[in-house]
């Protein structure tokens, strides 16, 4: 079964502090992992995907297969980073199904 767990519903940090949003997954094969973001009054959108190994808006995420984790990190938080963040897993096979975690609301305090 595919499952994504985000253990923190809420996360609050001060501007300029490092941020880490945790994501753990359960999947028997080799999944692809993603982070989606929803800013206030905007629609849900893709932030980054692990396979691209890219940094988007200063965020990075490394897939750790040993720990089955895909934590999202940013060294210096900015106020505009305040949003809902969802970790998502794509399992292969015929399903082509994107499974989302419960989400973490990140608040950056000035």
Partner 1 sequence: EAGVVQSPRYKIIEKKQPVAFWCNPISGHNTLYWYLQNLGQGPELLIRYENEEAVDDSQLPKDRFSAERLKGVDSTLKIQPAELGDSAVYLCASRPSGGFSGELFFGEGSRLTVL
Using the rule CB under 8 A, is 28 a contact of partner 1?
A: no
CA distances from 35 to 20, 67, 71, 94, 110 (A): 13, 17, 9, 22, 24
Q: What's the CA gap between 14 and 78, in Å, rounded?
A: 8
Backbone angles phi, psi at 33, to 5 degrees: -115, 150
Q: Work out whether the CA dihedral 60, 102, 29, 91 comes out positive or negative.
A: negative
Using the rule CB under 8 A, is 61 a contact of partner 1?
A: no
Using the rule CB under 8 A, is 99 a contact of partner 1?
A: yes
Binding mask 69-98 for partner 1 (x = CB under 8 A): -----------------x-x-x----xxxx
Binding-site size, partner 1 (CB under 8 A): 22
Using the rule CB under 8 A, is 40 a contact of partner 1?
A: no
Q: By CB under 8 A, name the binding residues for partner 1.
A: 4, 6, 9, 32, 34, 43-46, 49, 86, 88, 90, 95-103
């Amino acid at each position: 079964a595919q499952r994504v767990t985000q253990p923190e519903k809420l996360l609050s940090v001060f501007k300029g502090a490092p941020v880490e949003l945790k994501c753990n997954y359960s999947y028997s094969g080799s999944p692809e992992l993603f982070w989606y973001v929803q800013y206030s009054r905007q629609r849900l959108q893709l932030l980054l995907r692990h396979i691209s190994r890219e940094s988007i808006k200063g965020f990075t995420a490394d897939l750790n297969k040993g720990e089955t984790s895909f934590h999202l990190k940013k060294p210096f938080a900015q106020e505009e980073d305040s949003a809902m963040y969802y970790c998502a897993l794509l399992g292969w096979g015929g399903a082509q199904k994107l499974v989302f975690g419960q989400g973490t609301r990140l608040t950056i305090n000035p």
